[in-house]
Structure 1
Amino acid sequence: MAPAPAGPDEVRKPPIASKRTWQWVVGSLGVLVLLGLCGLSGYFVLAGPEYGEDSRPADSAAAPVGPRDISSRAADPTPLTVEEVFPGKQILIDVEDSPYPVRKTQASEDCELVADGEIRELLLSLGCSQFVRATVLSPPETYVATAGIVNLEDAAGATGAHEKIKPIVDGKKGRFLGMAAGGDTGAVEGRSAQVGWHVRGHYLIYCVVARTNGQTIGSDDPFARQVMLDMIEVYLRGKVLDRRVTASAAPPAGVDPSQPN
């Protein structure tokens, strides 16, 4: 993918004929085929039924099984942290690709920062306790994205949320909020940004994508779709929450695991 990340106020342009640019072209054609097969048309929604009637549900049998139950915050009380979700300065999707530079991270209990309008009201009503998000640049640094995980009370609430969000976005009654991080990242806060979301357990995963030059993203833009899939499905829903599911559950507060019962 792209060269090493630049400083917070500097965005370096990759060579026009860079290896990663061609990887994105070829890879994105595959993404378009995949999305076409899944019945996703004209809207960047990576959630449940919008994948297609025969697609796998949010918590499929193929997901890793481990000692940690993430079906509710009662069963999974340990809060998310930046160190768990975005531990480094880069996000590596595949060892053969260049990483996404991470420009800014944030963990907060103020769930009003995640979204506005009816989406904000919905998340608050479902017991949002915190979120962790980061703003990244695409490997060819022409796209900027804010991706994050929202901690809701239970899986039923998370599943209900993803079903209710699409009509809210369609009706322009609320949106997820991007987080600018200096340089050419300000466009992620604009209303021209596209959004995708998905769920796993009691977590809602989302991604807001924009072009760094502020131009509107077309509904058939393969690069924006690639960012969505990389951030939501591969990284946050896959790698990050896979680690949480398969990690040993933390001991209850006040319990020293080194001491016998």
Structure 2
Amino acid sequence: MVALLSVCGLSSFFIVADERQGRDAIASGAALPTAVPRDIGSREADPEPLSAAEVFPGEQLAIDPAQPPYLVLRTAASKDCRGAAAGRVAQLLDELGCSQVVRGTLRSSDGRYLVTAGVFNLSDVEGAEWAREKIKPMVEAEQGRFDGLLAGRGTEAIALSSAQVGWHVRGHYLVYCVIARADRRPIMDGDQRVGQILTDLLETHLRGSVIEKRATAPVSGS
């Protein structure tokens, strides 16, 4: 009983100390957290479907205010995940309970590259991680792929097999990019612009902005 009371007393001290620190922070004008982590480990915990406006909120997508924006040519949201992939990749996504795909086709500011970027909404983080690992050998063996989204005349290159792809995960979401040169020429190894596009759209926009907003919740009264 003594040990239990001691533990309770210690816990109470931490709570009181935390409250006092919070009051001191307010008094000193220090910024308090405006958001807290939110569970996106499964669709059960994060049930609200994505929307095209959530992933691509305008006709332009600015990643760096100091750089020209990407032009958003077309967006689409569908419950048919197999319509955005082919072969064994499409089959895998179906097996993992993919409920929707939201994607858009963009053009780089210099007009040289076309990009289809999107998000697959899978059942849980385990399935998303499994897909991340299993898709690579399928793509390398030409047994499946992600499909580009045509956006009218002049975007045919995004549907060619010479396009390059990249993908990543966060929570129960699988994000991906399909990149092609607008002139239909193959992308050369070491193309630094392609590396920048992957960083811009996969890491900064899809994972670091769109999914980041899903992974946090505002603090009440902040």
State the TM-score, normalizing by the size of structure 1.
0.69
In the other structure, the counterpart of 1:121 is 91
Map residues 33-72 of structure 1 onto 2, 5 A cutoff: 66-72=36-42
Structure 2 residue matching 1:136: 3-state secondary structure: strand
| 3-state SS, counterpart of residue 199 of structure 1 | strand
- 1:139 Cα deviation after fit: 1.2
* Bigger-Rg structure (1/2): 2
Native 8 Å contact 1:195 1:209 kept in 2: yes
Alpha-carbon offset, residue 67 of structure 1: 4.6
Q: SS where residue 70 of structure 1 aligns?
A: coil
Matched letter for residue 145 of structure 1: V
Residue matched to 1:216 = 186
Report whether the alignment pairs 1:205 with 2:175. yes
Structure 2 CA distance for aligned equivalents of residues 219 and 126 of structure 1: 32
Distance in 2 between the 1:152 and 1:198 partners?
13
The equivalent position to 1:235 in structure 2, one of 170, 195, 205, is 205
Report the counterpart of residue 60 of structure 1 in structure 2: none
Write the distance in 2 (CA, Å) between the matches of 1:243 and 1:131. Answer: 18
- Aligned to 1:247, what secondary structure does the other structure show? strand
8 Å contact 1:100–1:139 — kept in the other structure?
Answer: yes
Residues 68, 248 of structure 1: 8 Å contact kept: no
Identity, % of aligned pairs?
Answer: 51
Selected match of 2:129 from 149, 155, 159: 159
Task: Tell me the distance in 1 between the aligned counterparts of 2:68 and 2:176.
Answer: 22
Q: Report which structure shows greater RCO (CA 8 Å, sep ≥6).
A: 1
Over aligned residues, Cα RMSD in angstroms?
1.6
Question: Structure 1 residue 239: deviation in Å?
Answer: 0.8
Moved more, 198-207 or 91-100: 91-100
Q: Deviations over 1:124-181 (max 9, x none)?
A: 0000000100000011110000000000000000001000000000100000000111
The count of corresponding residues between Structure 1 and Structure 2 is 186
* Distance in 1, Cα, partners of 2:159 & 2:217: 34
Find the residue that maps to 2:119 and give its secondary structure.
strand
Q: How does 1:93-104 map to 2 (within 5 A)?
A: 93-104=63-74
Unaligned runs of 5+ in 2: 1-34
Q: Deviations over 1:191-213 (max 9, x none)?
A: 00000000000000000000001
1:126-145 matches, cutoff 5 A: 126-145=96-115
Return the offset for 1:104: 0.1
Which digits, 9 at most, give the CA deviation of each residue in 1:34-93, with x for residues without a partner?
Answer: xxxxxxxxxxxxxxxxxxxxxxxxxxxxxxx73521000000000000111111111110
Structure 1 position 114, deviation (Å): 1.4
Residue aligning to 1:146: 116
Hey, what's the Cα distance between the residues in 2 that align with 1:119 and 1:104?
A: 23
1:59-98 aligned within 5 A: 66-98=36-68
For residues 110 and 150 of structure 1, what CA distance do their matches in structure 2 show?
10
In 2, are the aligned partners of 1:145 and 1:188 still within 8 Å (CA)? yes
- Contact 1:67–1:246 (CA under 8 A) maintained in structure 2: yes
Structure 2 distance, partners of 1:181, 1:175, is 19
Name the SS of the counterpart of 2:154 in structure 1: helix
Matched, 1:179 2:146: no
